[in-house]
Structure 1
């Protein structure tokens, strides 16, 4: 079955699910809040909380969460459709490692206005200004997907501020914007996102399958195996639900997502100028950001290490059977390079 036919089938399944809820019409969807707590202080998953604040930096306001009170700081640079909540969630596997975790909302996401910085260079300098405002000297960087060009640029422009860099599924060069799939077009508007949200509450496996169609190049058998794994593994299922929550509500994340797409079309981070130790983690069957991005970055960043997640997708670092092993490799790398204190 072709990818397009699979997506049409999944979209049809979503409509079939929704057909069983006749009381929900477009007007009701517009009024519905999505059934999640999107406030600045909340629990993302058991044991992982955020407390969003805003720093008035010299380059503009930045919303952020800072977890922990002692230890080296890890700066989590979130992906597209995200925000500080997503950055905190994606770095939560490190919260018991003696690190402080700094998770800002990049410009155009949640409480950070797009005017605080549109280009990768402006966003990199904004991160440096945030560190100045918070009195933080140096950080390790965890950069994810569409956030990686900002992470790379930050490391290149402010080499004295970075003690290590880990990129997961990172964009490292131009990412031409093709026509979005029917499923993605459905998601990228307020009513459509609420339809997907309602489907998630009724048939989570349908949304998991649709997500994997976007994030992987799996064949039908491997896709079904991964859906089964996520649905049958409490840790992975809970994480998927929380990750989905960090894309909602869409209007507060649209300006940044749209800007990321514009920046990605001409992305060319100065990888040769990255001086910090770098670890690049990428699934070989990533359907969102092709594995070639990691191979290119590994060639261009001096001394970079490449960790291949064999036969894994864009989200396997958190949701796949090999997630624990990949996270352990990243943890070892960060411990090796973290400063004392």
Structure 2
């Protein structure tokens, strides 16, 4: 076979490979958009602009402050196994999905937007769950409106002393995109899983693998979440270092895995020590997604919210 023929075949294979990747990318993004469109999301007007929310279930109301790269859809997914007999309300935080990204916003502003949702729904008091980067807004809500927060649960939370973004925001604006994140997911899945907080050694079985795959896919499409993710990385997460946790006056439960590679367990333990009466539930494994810990988390959270 001549050199020219070999070069032609290699070039053809490369083109075919790129073509197949483009087809898969489009299929994956279409599937992600379909999942998002299947979630019944509502929008209210507020002084911060549109605020989107989704809800499910019946029972005692719980407001969920979702984590980074999520939104109302991902928030519902994150607490699906935790809150099985409650009315769950999940606003999309600033810059996520259908919620506005106000200029010079703060987590305190986000707490005020939460109040706007509660007022619209006629909810005078709720339990609150803050997840990961949603910790700041959940804590601000409890600090500013203790009469409206019955219990505060922080799951895989960002506490003072946790790591914050080091790269310039401009880099994040490029990286937090569907093409970049999709390529990472497809070509370097262990790295992508690590970015989402999965520790080494996971998944440990089919159930873990299923939950992990679902959670990793849940961040797509990235596009309508990107502004919120940048806001979380460079504003919401660093802000919590200045919060007066010792002034919290609502019953607080912190659930955190000791092997969480994203949010420091040591920082969570130190945060728990600063909050009067707070209880720390230490999970021996499971990482940021608390893989394999669903039963224990559900039991602990249910007992706490019923107390």
TM-score for both structures, normalised by structure 2: 0.83
Partner of 1:34: 29
The answer to whether the aligner puts 1:93 opposite 2:81 as a matched pair is yes
Partner of 1:149: 136
Q: What per-residue deviation string (whole Å, max 9, x for no partner) do you get for residues 7-32 of structure 1?
A: xxxxxxxxxxxx89704378767766
Superposition deviation, residue 35 in structure 1: 4.0
Contact 1:34 1:198 in 2 (8 A): no
Measure the CA separation in 2 of the matches of 1:211 and 1:190: 16
1:255 to 205, 217, 227: 227
Superposition deviation, residue 260 in structure 1: 0.7
Instruction: Give matches, 1:274-293, under 5 Å.
Output: 274-293=248-267
Structure 2 runs not aligned, ≥5 long: 1-13
Partner of 1:65: 54
Superposition deviation, residue 157 in structure 1: 0.5
Instruction: Give matches, 1:8-23, under 5 Å.
Output: 22-23=17-18
Structure 1 runs not aligned, ≥5 long: 1-18, 43-49, 200-205, 337-341
Larger radius of gyration: 2
Superposition deviation, residue 94 in structure 1: 4.3
TM-score for both structures, normalised by structure 1: 0.75
Contact 2:32 2:218 in 1 (8 A): no
Q: What per-residue deviation string (whole Å, max 9, x for no partner) do you get for residues 28-63 of structure 1?
A: 677666241425542xxxxxxx31111113443111
Contact 1:30 1:190 in 2 (8 A): no
1:162 to 149, 154, 157: 149
The answer to whether the aligner puts 1:124 opposite 2:111 as a matched pair is yes
Q: What per-residue deviation string (whole Å, max 9, x for no partner) do you get for residues 227-250 of structure 1?
A: 342xx22xx333323322321111
User: Over aligned residues, Cα RMSD in angstroms?
Assistant: 2.8
Contact 2:95 2:225 in 1 (8 A): yes
Contact 1:79 1:87 in 2 (8 A): yes
Q: How many residues align?
A: 287
Partner of 1:301: 275
Measure the CA separation in 2 of the matches of 1:185 and 1:313: 26
Measure the CA separation in 2 of the matches of 1:122 and 1:210: 31
Contact 2:185 2:192 in 1 (8 A): no
Partner of 2:41: 52
Contact 1:107 1:256 in 2 (8 A): yes
Superposition deviation, residue 130 in structure 1: 1.2
Partner of 1:47: none
Greater mean alpha carbon deviation, residues 144-153 or residues 25-34: 25-34
Partner of 1:11: none
Q: 1:37 to 1:281 in 2, by over 3 A?
A: same
Superposition deviation, residue 271 in structure 1: 1.5
Superposition deviation, residue 282 in structure 1: 0.7
Measure the CA separation in 2 of the matches of 1:249 and 1:108: 14
Greater mean alpha carbon deviation, residues 267-276 or residues 300-309: 267-276
Superposition deviation, residue 95 in structure 1: 4.8
